[in-house]
Amino acid sequence: MSIELIWAIILSFAIFAYVVLDGFDLGIGINYPFIGSKWERDIAMNTVAPVWDGNETWLILGGGGLFAAFPLAYSVVLPALYVPLTAMLIGLILRGVAFEFRWKDKSKTQIWDKAFIIGSIGATFFQGVALGAFIQGIPMEGRAFNGDWWHWLSPFSIFTGIALVFGYGLLGSTWLIYKTENKTKRHMQMLGKRFFILTLIMILIVSLWTPYLHPEYFEKWFSYPRILYVLPVPLLVAISTVCCFRALIKNNDLQPFVWSIILFLLSFIGLMISIYPNIVPPSLDIWQAAAPKKSLQFLLVGVLIFMPIILVYTSFTYWVFRGKTKPDESYH
């Protein structure tokens, strides 16, 4: 296996870790408008209070890793997605400020709650828009982005933005099913079923839409014999869908969250199948965009030291704060 491919796998792992970990705590903000009482909102926020800022470590690793290992891809993707990525960062900042100020400035709790909702939905929507714009392809001339500031704006990118809001809503509600009890848990079970149905519809539409964005995508999914290699992905999605639905119907605690993550993982694998070996679709592949081999080898030493440390402290944090969040517990 080439070192360029190893770096592509490392970056894919970092991006997926961010999607899942920050996805469910952004999902709590997406569920917030449907949580009426302050008491329930306090519990919901306390379920992620010890971990939410640590979850965003993976965003830094993914962005920094792209800059260091694939500088050409970084220089092409960033100008193409300046607008949605800037909007996403503004949403994350607004959400982070609201998260902290809500507990310190109790006279303005409702204002900070609204800021938390707007920041969470905005950050998620523009993250999905950036993803959609990336999948539909970034035009290049030579070694540079060849488009305007609004190239990212399209029906497909807007749709993927909405789809991600529903998807993170599912992760957030299933997380709260796992972490809460009694009235809050029952409320989340109801919301989780609705977000599950909406997410499923969105996965289906995006899956049918994506192959028609580029002939290469269509060939990977529908030409023979390639279809035999990719067929397990939709089959596993169908099985995971049934399992997630059963877990929601049976009011299981942890299983809906686990199956929701598996649905995200399979969707992520489907995306990787569509764009591989390109790192900037439709024309810039991993090897063309990579830094010199000696640089990749040097950087890999650092990743092999620090990634296990991140995994250990992240796992330890989740272990320490495992189990149900009690109403009388507070982390602020």
Q: What's the pLDDT at 212? A: 92
pLDDT at 328 over 80: no
Question: How far, rounded to the nearest angstrom, does the alpha carbon of residue 22 sit from its chain's CA centroid?
Answer: 7
Work out the pLDDT band at 331, boundaries 50, 70, 90: low
DSSP three-state, residue 37: coil
Q: What's the pLDDT at 324? A: 85
Beta bridge partners of 219: none
Would the pTM of this model clear 0.75, i.e. be above it?
yes
Average pLDDT over residues 216-231: 90
Q: What's the pLDDT at 326? A: 77
Q: What's the pLDDT at 83? A: 95
Work out the pLDDT band at 329, boundaries 50, 70, 90: low
d(CA 7, CA 290): 9
Q: What percent of the chain has pLDDT over 90?
A: 63
CATH top class, domain 3-318: mainly alpha
pLDDT at 36 over 60: yes
Residues 6+ apart with CB under 8 A from 175: 24, 25, 27, 28, 47, 48, 257
Q: What's the pLDDT at 94? A: 93
